[in-house]
Amino acid sequence: MAKWNIGKHLSVLTKEKIIIGRKNLFAWVKDKKFAELLIRDYAIGNICLKNQLNKPSIILYSGVLEAVLAYATKKKGDDFIILIDESYNKKFITESNKYKLQVLRDFRNYVHLSREAVGDFELTNGIAQLAQETCESVLKGLAHYKD
């Protein structure tokens, strides 16, 4: 433990944020307030995944993905599918991640209960894991992004 941390209780969220910080997944984001929000949502997504809370983890990871693609492409307000295509065209994401993102986009819409009710799929731990792995892969790919 670091000296500043001796005797201090850290919340689960704070510990998760520290782990994410060590990975430098969001170091490329120049807007520090925005980076803090991304780290928070990614950390909460990780906590949800660890506790098998599949729906919130999928929605949080997908939200982070949409936000970083909008930031990188400078296309704020565009649909997620447009951001995915634009990111692929600019070589910010791989072809494999492009297809994974298109799948996750559909599951992100399950934030709306009406869409989940008529959906054909259950939000499983496997889909949540796919969301986490895709999110980390995209973030690692964007590590070399220059604003």
Separation in Å, CA 136 to CA 39, 93, 139, 142? 12, 12, 5, 10
Residue 3 lies in a domain: no
Token pair in block for residue 77: 């307000």
Q: For 97-121, how does the pLDDT look when each residue is reduced to its tens digit (9 = 90+)?
A: 999 999 999 888 888 788 888 888 8
Residue 4 lies in a domain: no
Are the C-beta atoms of 98 and 29 separated by less than 8 Å? no
Tell the burial category of 21 from Cβ atoms under 10 Å away from its Cβ (0-12, 13-18, 19+): middle
Q: What is the pLDDT of residue 6?
A: 64
Question: Nearest to residue 50, comparing CAs of 128, 137, 130, 109?
Answer: 128
Domain count, the chain: 1
Domain carrying residue 117: 10-144
Q: How big, in percent rounded to 5, are the helix, strand and coil portions of the chain?
A: 75, 0, 25
Q: For 6-20, how does the pLDDT look when each residue is reduced to its tens digit (9 = 90+)?
A: 666 779 999 999 999
What stretches in the chain show pLDDT beneath 50?
Answer: none
Output the pTM of the full model. Answer: 0.87
Residue with tokens 């790919």: 141
Tell the burial category of 114 from Cβ atoms under 10 Å away from its Cβ (0-12, 13-18, 19+): exposed
Question: Nearest to residue 60, comparing CAs of 73, 75, 49?
Answer: 49
